C-alpha cells in the first residue's frame, strides 16, 4: 500500500504543512494534492496523507468521507457538478440532470465507458445570479439550458481543454488572464 507522488507534490505539501501552526491542519490540502495527482482519494492516498501529516489513517478517512469534494471513487476526466438548489432550479436547472443522463447513458456518480465523463447534482455553487450553473472540473459555466449544455459538452469533447487550476504547481503571477474564468453563455 505505497503510493508514489511527484516530487512537486511532496514539496508543495511540505511547504503547506510548514505554513500552518499545526501539521494536522494540512490534512485537507494534502487530500486535494493526492486527489489532483491520483484522480481520486484511494486507500493509498489516505495512507500517504496520514504519513505526511501525522494524523491517523482512520482520521484522514473520516475527513475524506465528510467532505463531498474528495472523490471516494474515480471520476471522469471531466466531472460535471450541476447545481440543483433553488435559484438555479427555478431558472430552468431542473431539466438539466435528465439531459446529462440521456447524453451519457450513465447514472450520477458513474463514469462513461471511455473514462471521459461523470456528473452529479450538487448544492448551491454560489452563482445564483447566473444560473443554471454547472461546474466542470474547476470552471463555472453559467446561464445554461439544455441546448447550451449539449453544445458545451460537444466542444469539450472536441477541444479537450484543461479545466483545472493546479494546486500542486501553484502557478502565480502573469497567466491569470489566460485562465478560463467562467464562461457566461449569452
Partner 1 sequence: MAHHRILTANIEYDDQRQIAAYEKRGGYAALRKALALPPEQVLAEVKLSGLRGRGGAGFSTGMKWGFVPKNSGKPVYLIQNADESEPGTFKDRLLLERDPHLCLEGMIIAAWALGSRWSCIYIRGEYAYPAVCIEQALAEAYARGYLGKNILGSDFSLDIILHRGAGAYICGEETGLIESLEGNPGRPRIKPPFPAVVGLYGCPTVVNNTETLAALPWIINNGAAAYKAIGTDKSPGTKLISASGHVSRPGVYEIDLGYPLLEFLNNECGGIRGGHRLKAVIPGGSSVPVLRADELAGVCLDYESLQAAGSMLGSGGLIVLDETSDMVETALNLQHFYAHESCGQCTPCREGAHWIEKIVKRILAGRGTAADLALIESLCGQIGGHTICPFGDALITPVLSLMAKFPEEFSRLIDQGLDSLVRESYG
Task: Give the footprint of partner 1 on this chain (CB under 8 A).
Answer: 19-22, 24-29, 31-32, 53, 55, 59, 62-63, 66-70, 81, 84-87, 89-91, 122-131, 135, 138-140, 164-165, 167, 170, 172-173, 176, 179, 181-182
Nearer to partner 1, 76 or 131 (CB): 131
Which H or E run includes 119? strand 117-122
Taken as a whole, the chain contains a residue count of 186
Nearer to partner 1, 11 or 67 (CB): 67
Q: How far is the CB of 106 from partner 1 (least distance, A)?
A: 18
Would you put residue 33 in left (φ > 0), alpha (ψ -120 to 50) or beta? alpha
Nearer to partner 1, 86 or 147 (CB): 86
Grid coordinates of 150? 449539449
CA distance 99 to 108: 12
Peptide bond into 174 cis (omega under 30): no
Q: How far is the CB of 182 from partner 1 (least distance, A)?
A: 6
Q: Hey, is 20 helix, strand or coil?
A: coil
Nearer to partner 1, 106 or 163 (CB): 163
Q: How far is the CB of 4 from partner 1 (least distance, A)?
A: 24
Nearer to partner 1, 4 or 90 (CB): 90
Q: How far is the CB of 173 from partner 1 (least distance, A)?
A: 7
Strand-pairing partners, residue 184, are: 142
Nearer to partner 1, 6 or 182 (CB): 182
Q: How far is the CB of 123 from partner 1 (least distance, A)?
A: 5
CA distance 121 to 180: 22
Nearest alpha-carbon partner for 136 in 150, 153, 124: 153
Nearest alpha-carbon partner for 120 in 153, 84, 88: 84
Q: How far is the CB of 80 from partner 1 (least distance, A)?
A: 13
Amino acid at each position: 500500500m505505497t503510493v508514489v507522488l511527484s516530487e512537486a507534490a511532496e514539496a508543495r505539501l511540505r511547504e503547506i504543512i510548514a505554513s500552518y501552526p499545526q501539521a494536522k491542519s494540512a490534512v485537507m490540502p494534502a487530500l486535494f494534492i493526492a486527489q489532483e495527482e491520483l484522480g481520486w482519494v484511494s486507500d493509498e492516498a489516505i495512507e500517504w496523507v496520514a504519513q505526511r501529516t501525522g494524523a491517523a489513517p482512520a482520521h484522514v478517512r473520516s475527513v475524506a468521507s465528510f467532505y463531498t469534494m474528495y472523490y471516494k471513487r474515480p471520476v471522469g476526466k471531466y466531472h460535471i457538478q450541476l447545481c440543483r438548489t433553488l435559484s438555479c432550479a427555478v431558472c430552468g436547472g431542473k431539466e438539466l440532470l435528465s439531459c446529462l443522463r440521456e447524453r451519457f447513458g450513465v447514472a450520477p456518480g458513474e463514469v462513461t465507458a471511455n473514462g471521459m465523463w461523470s456528473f452529479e447534482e450538487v448544492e448551491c455553487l454560489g452563482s445564483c445570479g447566473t444560473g443554471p450553473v454547472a461546474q466542470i472540473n474547476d470552471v463555472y459555466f453559467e446561464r445554461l439550458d439544455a441546448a447550451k449544455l449539449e453544445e458545451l459538452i460537444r466542444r469539450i469533447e472536441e477541444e479537450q481543454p484543461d479545466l483545472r487550476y493546479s494546486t500542486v504547481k501553484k502557478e502565480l503571477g502573469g497567466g491569470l488572464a489566460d485562465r478560463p474564468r467562467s464562461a457566461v453563455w449569452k
